[in-house]
Amino acid sequence: MTIQNVLQFGNPLLRESCIRVEYFDSPEVQQTQRDLRDTLHRLQRVHRRGGGLAAPEIGSALRIIYVHARGRSFHLFNPVIVERSDETVQAWDFCYSAQASFLAEVTRSQRIRVEYQDASGNSHNETFEGYFSELLQHEIDHLNGTLFIDHIDKPATLTMIAEWDRQHAL
């Protein structure tokens, strides 16, 4: 198990664009895959929320994302959003790179089409809606040096997660 520390807002690597993966079997790529998987699984156990993690969050400049949510687990290499729906949604978003301490409403496309490669380098073209659309927009933003706080339209929606949990307890 290779759990990495998550870089926090203010770390300059989080504002850089990542580089394309060219050699899928390189030791660096293989290690980054494992680190993303193991680190996300640990974060999900600790925070009980979240569905994805991008390589820059663990200090890697590679264009790799790992998703583990709602019955799906997969890596996306070199993902690019090639189409966005005109329909948008307001979504509550948070980030492990903000110590999973606050969330805010952001505007996201309801549906996106993403071109990406899998761990073998095979190309995929997939449409994502709802939750997965929101999640992948967040994670792909990380690969381009954009953070969810850049999408906050209404700062008044900023809420500490502890307060959110208190207000929404069942």
Kindly list the domain boundaries of the chain, sorted by start residue.
12-167
At 103 the pLDDT is: 93
* DSSP per-residue letters across the chain: ----PPP-TT-GGGGSPPBPP--TTSHHHHHHHHHHHHHHHHHHHHHS---EEEGGGGT--B-EEEEEETTEEEEEEEEEEEEE-S-EEEEEEE-GGGTT-EEEEEEEESEEEEEEE-TT--EEEEEEEHHHHHHHHHHHHHHTT--GGGGBS-GGG-EEHHHHHHHT--
Question: What is the homologous superfamily of the domain 12-167 according to CATH?
Answer: Peptide deformylase (3.90.45.10)
Catalytic status, residue 129: no
At 44 the pLDDT is: 97
At 1 the pLDDT is: 67
pLDDT band (50, 70, 90) for residue 81: very high
Cα separation, 170 vs 165, in Å, equals: 9
Q: Where does residue 160 rank: exposed (0-12), middle (13-18), buried (19+ CB within 10 A)?
A: exposed
pLDDT exceeds 70 at position 85: yes
Cα separation, 89 vs 103, in Å, equals: 16
Distance from chain centroid for Cα 69: 11
Catalytic residue among 57, 105, 134, 139: 139
pLDDT digits (tens, 9 = 90+) for 108-151: 999 999 999 999 999 999 999 999 999 999 999 999 999 999 99
Residue type, 154: K
pLDDT digits (tens, 9 = 90+) for 10-65: 999 999 999 999 999 999 999 999 999 999 999 999 999 999 999 999 999 999 99
pLDDT band (50, 70, 90) for residue 169: confident
pLDDT band (50, 70, 90) for residue 170: low
Phi, psi of 39 (to 5 degrees): -70, -45
At 79 the pLDDT is: 98
At 129 the pLDDT is: 97
Cα separation, 126 vs 129, in Å, equals: 10
pLDDT band (50, 70, 90) for residue 168: confident
